[in-house]
Amino acid sequence: MIIDKYLYFRTQADQNDDDGIDDSLYLPARQIKAIVPTSTTAITIFFESMYNTFANVAEDLNVISDSVVINCTQGKVKQVMETLVRAINSNKLYGDGTITVADDVTTTYLTSAAGADETVTAKVLDSGITTCGGITIAAANS
């Protein structure tokens, strides 16, 4: 039986502000097209576009990938890339199949027994990850 793995990313520190397509992303790992070091402190993960596909028409604007940037500690880019690929390829079951790569939330929204916000620690897959830098989802071509 093949079990799909999913990657989770969130850029928002306050859970109450997580309300847009560029705030959080839940992505099937099979949609990843490339993982590229884009600086000494960042990697970019390119994946199949959410709204667009390749068209073979000259006048069409083709967006064939969207992306998410993961900010890393200086000198840890390779380590982060290796950890991510290892997690995707491993036989380890990640609970519900979700691998949290970078979840920047440090304030929840009304989650305590008293109905108040709580402070939590951001979650990262690897200690070399500092934050989820940004999620880019191209608008649908017309």
What is the domain partition of the chain in residue ranges?
A: 6-136
- Residue 66 · residue 46 · CB < 8 Å: yes
- Residue 80 · residue 68 · CB < 8 Å: no
**pLDDT on residue 97:** 77
**pLDDT on residue 1:** 47
**pLDDT on residue 108:** 79
User: How far does the chain reach from its first CA to its final CA, in angstroms?
Assistant: 39
**pLDDT on residue 16:** 82
**pLDDT on residue 15:** 82
**pLDDT on residue 134:** 93
**Range 86-113 average pLDDT:** 81
Report d(CA 24, CA 61) in Å as an integer.
25
Q: What is the model's pTM?
A: 0.82
**Range 79-105 average pLDDT:** 87
Which pLDDT tens digit goes with each residue over 31-46? 999 999 999 999 999 9
Of 129 and 61, which is predicted with more confidence? 129
pLDDT band at 95 (very low <50, low <70, confident <90, very high): low
Of 18-27, 96-105, 110-119, least confident by mean pLDDT is: 110-119
